[in-house]
Amino acid sequence: MRTENHGSGMDSALPIAEIDFSRYHMRVSTERFTSRDYQELEREKLWMRVWQIAGRADELPEPGDWKVYTVLDQSYVLVRGRDGAIRGFVNACRHRANAFCQGSGHSARFTCPYHRWTWELDGRLIGVAMPDFRGSVEEFVGPKDELGLLPVQVEVFAGFIFLNPDMSAAPLADFLGPAAQALAAYRLEEMVPVGLNVREKIRCNWKVVIDAFQEGYHVQGVHPELVSYMDMARERFMEFGLHCACTVPFGGARSATAGPEQEVAMYRQLPAPNFPGIVAALPRFENLVALYLDGDGAPHFPAGVSARGLMQQAVRETMTARGLDVSALSDTQMSDYQFWALFPNVYLQLCPGEATVIIAAPDRDGDPNACSWHVCHYLWLPAELREEQRAELVEIPEGEHFDYFLALEQDYSQMQQQQDGLRNRAVKFMSLTRQEPRVAHFHAVLDDWLGDSA
């Protein structure tokens, strides 16, 4: 029995043909993808001020577990305290600024390896090595309470650790706005990486990655094998403040005229690597379809019954039987993926019990023509199965490449090819179409953040 469908706002989202594009700049400067000055502007006005995903809360299960998070040349350490709260600090010693943490680890307190100053997990300075000094710590270094680790803001939502370097920034809830409630319905905090969890460098700007996953327009160009599954003409779009999302029903361009047989066949043929959540419900779907088969095995649906409706029922029943609470999700959400642009650098592809999350991070050394992406596939699993099925992060060494499934391979090479084009001095702007509202929205929000100087 469903009570409130918090995630169903998208059911009333606008068909993209009805969007008012007049508030967007449909010509977007290419300079933002290639210029070091622009990257520097992003560093100061975006990355130093924005809430950004820095990891998953379950990477730090125990008090004393810590990990380093970097964005451009800024380095932070995230740590779970004795009180269970996750905190963040600038990864620089208060003595002579040594980056005292590398990678990840577990410790009862932080000790800088250079001259062995020590801090509590909450950032308080508790010890200063004084091998040859006979006076007090205060005589040695001045007031101790001024030398705590420099804090940054950290909050957890949907199992993700969000970090904001700006201590005066508004809370995460303000930043997420209405997106928080819509996303909460998917229960991402109960999902773990399964199957695919890879980070590697890509030879393109981080925004090329974001743009590539924020439109379905390129499916016909880059993923022709998926054309028959996605009904792009029925895409719907909704803004959630800084963030936005769209949803597209399954069914090819001909789905409006497809008969029951084609509709059923379309679900049966969905490629599992792309859409594992829906594919997982196929056995139940077959049971339901079997109720309507004639002597020749062809489906005949009475009025009010459709393949899509049976698929929705199959997903709801399959997920509920597994123990996932889908009561906050609408029927549309059972069958239709939602594609989210979580500003600034996160793509979320969501269906019940499943999420594909791509995070594009600017290049550590500040090269605007490079970035890293972290592609992770999350599955909802009963608590007792989460640890055994968890996929650890695979970091691909520079110069090597991970072998993704077909669509991601296609995107991976396409994005680098776009960057090659963007670098041409003669091309000053990209020209967006009315099939790219999320791309337009993202660049409009980015323009707001960077202000007049952009």
Q: Cα(210)–Cα(243) distance, rounded to whole angstroms?
A: 12
Q: Does 405 bind ligand FES (CB under 6 A)?
A: no
Q: Two tokens at 159? A: 């199992």
Q: Two tokens at 245? A: 């999302």
Least distance to ligand FES, CB of residue 284, Å: 59
Least distance to ligand FES, CB of residue 166, Å: 25
CB 56 within 8 A of CB 67: no
What is the edge-to-edge ordering of all strands in the sheet holding 110-111? 110-111, 118-119, 125-127
Q: Point out which span in 108-116, 197-205, 230-238, 401-409 binds ligand FES (CB under 6 A).
A: 108-116
Q: What are phi and psi of 81, to 5 degrees?
A: -80, 175
Least distance to ligand FES, CB of residue 111, Å: 8
Q: Does 96 bind ligand FES (CB under 6 A)?
A: yes
Q: Cα(290)–Cα(83) distance, rounded to whole angstroms?
A: 54
Q: Does 163 bind ligand FES (CB under 6 A)?
A: no
Query: What is the full DSSP assignment across 39-78?
Result: HHHHIIIIITTS-EEEEEGGGS-STTEEEEEEETTEEEEE
Q: Does 331 bind Fe ion (CB under 5 A)?
A: no
CB 88 within 8 A of CB 78: yes
Q: Which does 96 bind (CB under 5 to 8 A by kind): Fe ion, ligand FES, none?
A: ligand FES
Q: Does 115 bind ligand FES (CB under 6 A)?
A: yes
Q: Does 285 bind ligand FES (CB under 6 A)?
A: no
Q: Does 112 bind ligand FES (CB under 6 A)?
A: yes
Using CB under 6 A, count the residues that bind ligand FES.
8
Q: What are phi and psi of 199, to 5 degrees?
A: -125, 130
Q: Does 254 bind ligand FES (CB under 6 A)?
A: no
CB 30 within 8 A of CB 434: no
Q: Return the number of the residue (95 or 364) whose C-beta is nearest ligand FES.
A: 95
Choice from 114, 292, 404, 449 touching ligand FES (CB under 6 A): 114
CB 113 within 8 A of CB 100: yes
Q: Cα(251)–Cα(337) distance, rounded to whole angstroms?
A: 12
Measure CA 217 to chain center. 20
Least distance to ligand FES, CB of residue 65, Å: 22
Question: For tokens 């928080």, what's the residue?
Answer: 180
Q: Does 75 bind ligand FES (CB under 6 A)?
A: no
Q: Point out which span in 47-55, 91-99, 130-138, 436-444 binds ligand FES (CB under 6 A).
A: 91-99
What is the edge-to-edge ordering of all strands in the sheet holding 346-351? 14-15, 236-240, 243-248, 337-342, 346-351, 354-362, 371-380, 191-202, 394-395
Residues 375-414: x/- map of binding to Fe ion (CB under 5 A)? ------------------------------------x---
Contacts of 6 (CB under 8 A, 6+ apart): 181, 182, 184, 185, 328
Q: Which does 322 bind (CB under 5 to 8 A by kind): Fe ion, ligand FES, none?
A: none
Choice from 43, 45, 95, 364 touching ligand FES (CB under 6 A): 95
Q: Return the number of the residue (6 or 223) whose C-beta is nearest Fe ion.
A: 223
Q: Does 144 bind ligand FES (CB under 6 A)?
A: no
CB 430 within 8 A of CB 28: yes
Q: What angle (nearest 5°) sits at the alpha carbon of residue 169, between those of residues 165 and 174? A: 125
Q: Return the number of the residue (190 or 411) whose C-beta is nearest Fe ion.
A: 411
The helix (H) or strand (E) run that includes residue 156 is strand 151-157
Q: Return the number of the residue (112 or 219) whose C-beta is nearest ligand FES.
A: 112
Least distance to ligand FES, CB of residue 123, Å: 14
Least distance to Fe ion, CB of residue 222, Å: 5
Q: Point out which span in 113-121, 152-160, 305-313, 339-347 binds ligand FES (CB under 6 A).
A: 113-121
Least distance to ligand FES, CB of residue 204, Å: 37
Q: Does 98 bind ligand FES (CB under 6 A)?
A: yes
Least distance to ligand FES, CB of residue 75, Å: 14
Q: What are phi and psi of 47, to 5 degrees?
A: -65, -30
Q: Point out which span in 23-31, 112-120, 188-196, 391-399 binds ligand FES (CB under 6 A).
A: 112-120
Least distance to ligand FES, CB of residue 94, Å: 7
Query: What is the full DSSP assignment across 410-428?
Result: HHHHHHHHHHHHHT-TT--
Q: Does 436 bind Fe ion (CB under 5 A)?
A: no
Q: How many Cα atoms occupy the beta-carbon half-sphere of 404 within 13 Å?
A: 21
Residues interacting with Fe ion, by CB under 5 A?
411
Binding stretches for ligand FES (CB under 6 A): 93, 95-96, 98, 112, 114-115, 117
